[in-house]
Structure formats: C-alpha cells, structure tokens
Amino acid sequence: MKAFVFPGQGAQFVGMGKDLYENSSLAKELFEKANDILGYRITDIMFNGTDEDLRQTKVTQPAVFLHSVISALCMGEQAQPEMTAGHSLGEFSALVVAGALTFEDGLKLVYARAMAMQKACEATPSTMAAIIALPDEKVEEVCASVNKEGEVCVPANFNCPGQIVISGSILAIEKACELMKAAGAKRALPLKVGGAFHSPLMNPAKVELEAAINATEFHTPKCPVYQNVDALPHTDPEEIKKNLVAQLTASVRWTQTVKNMIADGATDFTECGPGAVLQGLIKKIDATVPAHGIQ
C-alpha cells in the first residue's frame, strides 16, 4: 500500500517550490491562489527571500504546507495514496491530499494556527531541545521529575528510536538537558525555535485554533489519515477535528504512527514536501520499507 507523509516546520529552504511554479500551470495557479488568500506574496519570500524571512512564523508554516500539498497534487493520477500522515504541521497537508479539507480551507487553518502559536510563544518565553540516544521511558521519567519542580517539561516529538524532542519553559529545558546527559544521552541539544510547541504552553493558541477548525467544513477523507495524537487511522470528520485541536499541546507520536502504518499494510512511503527528514526517520524506524521523496 502507498503511504504519503508530509513534513512539518523546520523543513523549509529558500527557493522551495520555485521549480514547481515555473514548470506546472497547476502549481502556478495554486501558488497565486495562496498569495490572494494570505494577502501577501508568500511566493516572493519562498523563492527569493532570506532564511530569516522564511523563519517568520506567518511565513514558515504556510510555506511548508504549500510546497507539500502542491508537490503532491502535481503528481496527478499518481497522487492517490492509500493512507496519509503528517508530522505536526504536516497533518494539515495530509488532510488536504486525503480530501478531508479543501486546499483553500487547509491554507486558512494553517495560517490561523501559525498566528495563534506565535502569540502563545510571545506570551511565555519557552523552547525545545533534541535528546539523542536515550530510551523513550527515560526521557519521560526525566521530564516528569522536572515537572514536579513546578516547571513545564514534556516529550513533544517521538521522532524515531533514540531521537525525542522535549518542550517547555526555558529553565525546565536547561535543567532537563543536564539531567538527560547525566542519564546517558549522547546529546541534548537546545533548538532554535520560538516556543514550546506540543506542550501545555500552547494552550492559549488552542482556543483560537479550535474556533477556526469548528468554523471549517471537514469531509470524510478518501483514505485513512494517521493522526499525531494517537498514531491511529481516522476517517470520521468530527474525530479528525478534535485530534487536530488536541495536537497543539500533545506529543507527536511519529515512531508509533509509522509502525502502525506498516502494520496496517504500508509497503512504500513517499515524502511530499521540502527536505528529506521524514525519509530518514522512517528508515530508522524500519529500514525494510522503502521511503523516498517524490519520484
């Protein structure tokens, strides 16, 4: 079975999507539609901006979404996955390609999510860190011990065995990194991010995102969409909506998602969007299943 997967924030690069825009009339039409919806020419920033320009939250998330969705849609008849999943932001791309959301509605929700998250980040200084070569259970144990001291520290992304990202207040992440190293982590690396994504510190953004999601029409997807919060396949629009809201403050269970997709019959993974991060993670989760970019 063919599985399509979609990357999240951090996969962006200057020049992304330019070849699609120049070589596909469909891509050009969709990019121009996006410029109109957003009210600014995101294509100018994507194609010719600077890394700093692309790192603006109001740009990053829509840019990665657009590159991912348009890449998949430009495959034409080949763009018929039998299951989809996306990492964090990528879940919105997965829902559009599966037919649960229109392109326009998906973009509007991604923009609303980006702006709500930006506000939450500005309200409470916070950060994230990557923990390398420590078992999931140990990471969870350390996070729990830091939480007991009154600070927020949670596992945010279970990316693959031996790679977990933690999220929380700046003091909590600094303390947790020290404890992770003492517990045997090969590395504990603070990340250059604007806030504590997938943690309780994103609660303020939940209210705005939930309102936007509830005002949007969701359809039954053409294929199951494996969602981050429980790593399970979903086709019911109401369940999908609830999981999208919950995702803002819950862990991204990517390792389990990939394992479940394989157990349910996935024999080939195609990453749609910028970069190759998910291909690398999938190979670390199960090296026997092919994982590649759009071919």
Residue 85 per-residue DSSP state? E
Closest CA to 244 of 138, 134, 106: 106
Measured CA to CA, the distance from residue 103 to residue 168 in angstroms comes to 32
Please pick, among 88, 93, 126, 199, the residue that the annotation labels catalytic: 88
Please pick, among 67, 87, 198, 234, the residue that the annotation labels catalytic: 198
Measured CA to CA, the distance from residue 190 to residue 87 in angstroms comes to 20
Which residues lie below 8 Å from residue 190, measured CB to CB, with a gap of 6+? 127, 128, 129, 173, 174, 177
Active site residue 145: no
Active site residue 198: yes
Measured CA to CA, the distance from residue 199 to residue 206 in angstroms comes to 11
- Beta-sheet pairing, 2-6 with 225-226: unpaired
Task: Name residue 85's beta-bridge partners.
Answer: 5, 226
Catalytic residues: 88, 198
